[in-house]
A and B are shown apart, each in its own frame.
Chain A
C-alpha cells in the first residue's frame, strides 16, 4: 500500500513536467515589453537588446540546436571587425566586454587573418590588456606593435588559460585569499569568471561575507559592472548582491563559458528559455515573483490560506451533504425529500460572489478567522454530494442486503446506516476529487471579497503584472495538488472497500 502510494507519487513527476512545459509554452505568448512602442521609443538599440536578453527572449523556447558560447561570439565579433563597416565598432565593444574569455579563441586565430584586419582585431583587444594590468599594456594601443604584443602574450601566458589551472587558482584564492592571488586571477580577466561565480556561495556569516566580497570584487572588476559588497554591508545585503551576480551569470553565461562535449549537450537544453526558467526554479526557489520575493516563499505563505479554504469547505460541505443525502434517500417520494431537494438546489444556484458580498458588506479588511469564508464557499458545494448520496443510497435500498437486514430484525435506521451507507460512500468519495478544482474558483472570489492574502490575490496581481514565474508555479502547484488528490482518493477506496485493493493497486501500476 505504502509502496503503491510512493510509486504513484513518483509517477506524478512526469505529469508535472508536462504541465510545466505546456504552461511555459502558453506563457511564451505573454506580450514582450520590448514590443510596446510607448516603452521602446525611449530606448537605444543596445538597451533594447539587453532587456530582451535579460528576459531570455533571444533564446529558443525548448531546444537550442546551436547554443552560442564564448567561442562563437568571439569569432563572430572578429569576423565583423574584419568585414568593417558600421558593425565593426559594436563588435569591438562586444569583444572587449567578453574580454579574457575570448583570448584563447581569438589569439590563435590571429595568424590566419590578413595583416590589415589582424591589426584591427589586435587594437580592439587593447582595452582588455589594460584591464588585465599587463606590463607594457600601452604597446597594445600602438598599431605597429599591437599584433606582436598579443602574439608574445599568447606565447608566454597562453599556458595559464587552462580550465584546471584557473580552477585551482580560484580555489586557492577562496581558501587563503590574498592580494597577489587576486591579481593572479585578474590577469586572466573574464576567463576566470566561470570559476569565480562557481565559487561564489550565498554567505551565511561574517566569514562568508568576506569571502563573497573578495570574489564579487573580482567579478565586478573584470565585467565592469559596479555591483560590489561594501565593507559596511550586512549579511542580507551581501546575500542580495550574490543573488544578483548569480542572475547575471544565468543571463550572460554564454558570453564567458565554452560549451564543448557534454556541456554542449547540456547547453542545448539549458540555453533555452525553458531551460533557464527550470534551472532558476530549481536553484532559486522557483524564481522571483514580480514583487521581488522568491516564488516558493510566497507560495508557502499564501497556499495554506487557500488550501484551508478549499479543503475546509469541502469537508464542511460533505459533513452537511452526507446526512442530507441519507435523510432524503430514506424519505424518497415524501415531502422531506422535496424540501431537501429545494434547499440544496437553492444553495447551489446562489453565486458565491453574491453570498460573499452579502456576508461582508463593509469594504474594510477582514480580521476574523477563516470560518465564515469557508462556510460561504461550502454552500455551493453541498449539492453535488447530496444528490450523489441520495441516488446511490436509493439504489442500494432496493437491494436484498437491506431487506435481509430488516428481516433479521435490524431497525430501519440501522439497516440504512450500517448496511446501506457503507456501500454508497465510494461514489461520493470519487466526487470529492472533482470538487477542489471547482472550489478554487469560488475560493478566489471569497478571498477577493474578504481581502485574504491567499493564492487568489497573488494570481490577480500576477495576471496584471504578467508575472510568468508566479503563473508557472501556480500551475504546477495546482497540478500537484490535483494529482495528490487523485492518489488520496484511490487509497480511500482501498480503506473503504478492501475488496477493491487488488483492483486499485494493479490497475494503476503503470502510472
Chain B
C-alpha cells in the first residue's frame, strides 16, 4: 500500500473530513453556480432575439448597464427558465431598501435595496474565490522560498529568514490597510496579493523547517550520495514529506482568509468593492441592529465555511501526522 493510499483511506474514513469537505463543497458549488440561483436574467430564454443561454454571464456588462424596467422589457416576450431569484447582487431592486421577505425576494433586500439571497450567494463566490486563490498563491511562493532557504544557506539566506520572521509576525490587516490606501479602485486582486504576502511566510517557515530536518536524514544523504541534484532531492525526497503540513496549514488558511476578508469588508476601509461580500452585510447588521437576518444569514454562512475548513484541516492533520495515529491506536478510540 502506498503512502498516498494510506493517507487517502485515513481521510476518507474520517467523519470530520467528510463533513468538512461536504460543507466546503456545497459552499463552493454555491459560489461557482451563483448565476443559476440568483441572476438578473433567465438561464435560458427563447424570445424575439432567438435562443439565449445564460445571458447573465455572456452579456453581463450590457445587463449591468440596464435599469430594472429595461431588463423586464427585454424578457417580456418569449419563454424560458429563470433562476430562483430574479435579481443580481449589484442591482437595487424596486422593493426598496430593507424590504421584508417576499416571493420576489425570499430573504428581503439589504440596506441598499439589493436582493439578500443574491448578495449572500455571490458573497460565497467572493469569500471562497479570494481565499482559495490567496492560499494557493501563498502556498506556491512559500514552498519555493522555503525550499530555497532550506537548501542554499548563507548570509543573504539568513536575512531572508529574518524577513520571513518579520512578515510572519506582521498583522495581515495592516498590510491590507496599506494596500487599500494605495489603490484608486479597490479590487479583489490587490486583496489576494496582500493576503498571499502574509500567507507565504507561514508556508515558507514550515517548508524550511522540514528541509532542515530532512537534510540530516539518511535517505537524503543516500540520495545525494547517488548523485541526485539538490533540486531533485528537494522535489523527490523532501517535498513529499513537507507537503502534508503545508496542505494542513493551507486549509486552516482558507478559514483565516475567509474571516479576514469578512473583517476587511466589515470595516469601512476605502470604497467598497463592486463584488458582494458577507462582511459588508454584517456591517449593515451593525448599522441596523433590529434586522436580525443581516446578522444571522451571513454569520451562519461564515460559520459553515470556517467550520468546514477547520474540520477538514483537523482531519487532514491527524491523517498526515503519524504520531497522532499511534496515540489514537494505543488509546483504543
Residue of A30, A434, A460, A478 near B269 (CB, 8 A) is A460
Q: Is the CB of A348 within 8 A of B306?
A: yes
B234 is an interface residue with CB less than 8 A from chain A: no
B81 is an interface residue with CB less than 8 A from chain A: no
Among B69-77, B110-118, B207-215, B280-288, which stretch is in contact with chain A? B280-288
Among B51-59, B98-106, B323-331, which stretch is in contact with chain A? B323-331
B227 is an interface residue with CB less than 8 A from chain A: no
Residue of A357, A398, A448, A449 near B330 (CB, 8 A) is A398
A15 is an interface residue with CB less than 8 A from chain B: yes
Residue of A30, A456, A486 near B181 (CB, 8 A) is A30
A302 to B170, CA, bound (A): 19
Given contacts A15-B162, A437-B172, A463-B270, contact A398 B327 (CB under 8 A): yes
Residues 476-510 of A contacting B (Cβ, < 8 Å)? 478-479, 482-483, 485-486, 510
Q: Is the CB of A433 within 8 A of B169?
A: yes
Task: Annotate B251-270 by CB proximity to A: 1 below 8 A, 0 otherwise.
Answer: 00001100110110011111
A39 is an interface residue with CB less than 8 A from chain B: no
Chain B minimum-CB-distance residue to A355: B299
Which of B171, B270, B323, B333 has the most chain A CB within a 10 Å cutoff? Answer: B171
Q: Say how far B270's CB is from chain A's closest CB, in angstroms.
A: 5
A442 is an interface residue with CB less than 8 A from chain B: yes
A350 is an interface residue with CB less than 8 A from chain B: yes
Task: Annotate B170-200 by CB proximity to A: 1 below 8 A, 0 otherwise.
Answer: 1111100111111010000000000000000
A23 to B289, CA, bound (A): 37
A482: chain B residues at CB < 8 Å are: 166, 169-171
Q: Is the CB of B287 within 8 A of A459?
A: no
B303 is an interface residue with CB less than 8 A from chain A: yes
Given contacts A398-B330, A486-B165, contact A445 B178 (CB under 8 A): no
A358 is an interface residue with CB less than 8 A from chain B: yes
A391 to B306, CA, bound (A): 22
A468 to B307, CA, bound (A): 37
B136: chain A residues at CB < 8 Å are: none
Residue of B169, B289, B323 near A483 (CB, 8 A) is B169
B94 is an interface residue with CB less than 8 A from chain A: no
Task: Annotate A22-39 by CB proximity to B: 1 below 8 A, 0 otherwise.
Answer: 010011011100000000
A395 to B178, CA, bound (A): 42
A42 is an interface residue with CB less than 8 A from chain B: no
Residues 275-296 of B contacting A (Cβ, < 8 Å)? 279, 282, 285-287, 289, 295
A471 is an interface residue with CB less than 8 A from chain B: yes
Q: Is the CB of A474 within 8 A of B174?
A: yes
B259: chain A residues at CB < 8 Å are: 351-352, 441
A462 to B163, CA, bound (A): 26
B230 is an interface residue with CB less than 8 A from chain A: no
Residue of A361, A463, A485 near B180 (CB, 8 A) is A463
A5 is an interface residue with CB less than 8 A from chain B: no
A45 is an interface residue with CB less than 8 A from chain B: no
Chain A minimum-CB-distance residue to B166: A15
Q: Say how far A366's CB is from chain B's closest CB, in angstroms.
A: 12
A436: chain B residues at CB < 8 Å are: 169, 171
Residue of B179, B267, B311 near A444 (CB, 8 A) is B267
Residue of B162, B263, B307 near A445 (CB, 8 A) is B263
A398 to B307, CA, bound (A): 30
Q: Is the CB of B177 within 8 A of A471?
A: yes
B310 is an interface residue with CB less than 8 A from chain A: yes
Residue of B286, B307, B332 near A449 (CB, 8 A) is B286
Q: Is the CB of A349 within 8 A of B310?
A: yes
Given contacts A444-B263, A459-B177, contact A354 B299 (CB under 8 A): yes
Q: Is the CB of B289 within 8 A of A362?
A: yes
B286: chain A residues at CB < 8 Å are: 353, 356-357, 363, 448-449
Report, as a range, how many residues of chain A touch the other chain.
Answer: 35 or more
A362 to B286, CA, bound (A): 8
Q: Is the CB of A353 within 8 A of B310?
A: no
Chain A minimum-CB-distance residue to B180: A463
Q: Is the CB of A351 within 8 A of B299?
A: yes
Residue of A31, A434, A448, A510 near B158 (CB, 8 A) is A510
Q: Is the CB of B303 within 8 A of A441?
A: no
Q: Is the CB of A448 within 8 A of B266?
A: yes
Q: Is the CB of B171 within 8 A of A478?
A: yes
Q: Is the CB of B282 within 8 A of A475?
A: no
Q: Is the CB of B266 within 8 A of A361?
A: no
Q: Is the CB of A345 within 8 A of B287?
A: no
A475 to B311, CA, bound (A): 34
Chain A minimum-CB-distance residue to B289: A361
B246 is an interface residue with CB less than 8 A from chain A: no
A343 is an interface residue with CB less than 8 A from chain B: no
Q: Say how far B159's CB is from chain A's closest CB, in angstroms.
A: 9
B302 is an interface residue with CB less than 8 A from chain A: yes
B184: chain A residues at CB < 8 Å are: 31
Q: Is the CB of A345 within 8 A of B282?
A: no
Residue of A348, A356, A460, A478 near B310 (CB, 8 A) is A348
A52 is an interface residue with CB less than 8 A from chain B: no
Residues 311-332 of A contacting B (Cβ, < 8 Å)? 332
Chain B minimum-CB-distance residue to A380: B259
A369: chain B residues at CB < 8 Å are: none
A466 to B170, CA, bound (A): 20
A333 is an interface residue with CB less than 8 A from chain B: yes
Chain B minimum-CB-distance residue to A31: B184
Q: Is the CB of A460 within 8 A of B282?
A: no
* Sample of 16 further A-B pairs with CB below 8 A, known A444-B263, A479-B169: A332-B333, A345-B307, A345-B310, A353-B262, A356-B286, A398-B327, A434-B168, A440-B171, A440-B173, A445-B266, A456-B267, A459-B269, A466-B181, A471-B178, A471-B181, A482-B171
**Interface residues, chain B, with chain A CB atoms under 8 Å away:** 158, 162-163, 165-166, 168-174, 177-182, 184, 255-256, 259-260, 262-263, 266-270, 279, 282, 285-287, 289, 295, 299, 302-303, 306-307, 310-311, 323-324, 327, 330-333
Can you name 26 A-B residue pairings with CB atoms under 8 Å? A19-B170, A30-B181, A332-B331, A345-B311, A349-B306, A351-B303, A351-B306, A353-B262, A354-B295, A356-B286, A357-B285, A357-B286, A437-B170, A440-B174, A441-B171, A441-B172, A460-B268, A463-B177, A463-B270, A466-B181, A471-B178, A478-B174, A479-B166, A482-B169, A482-B171, A510-B158
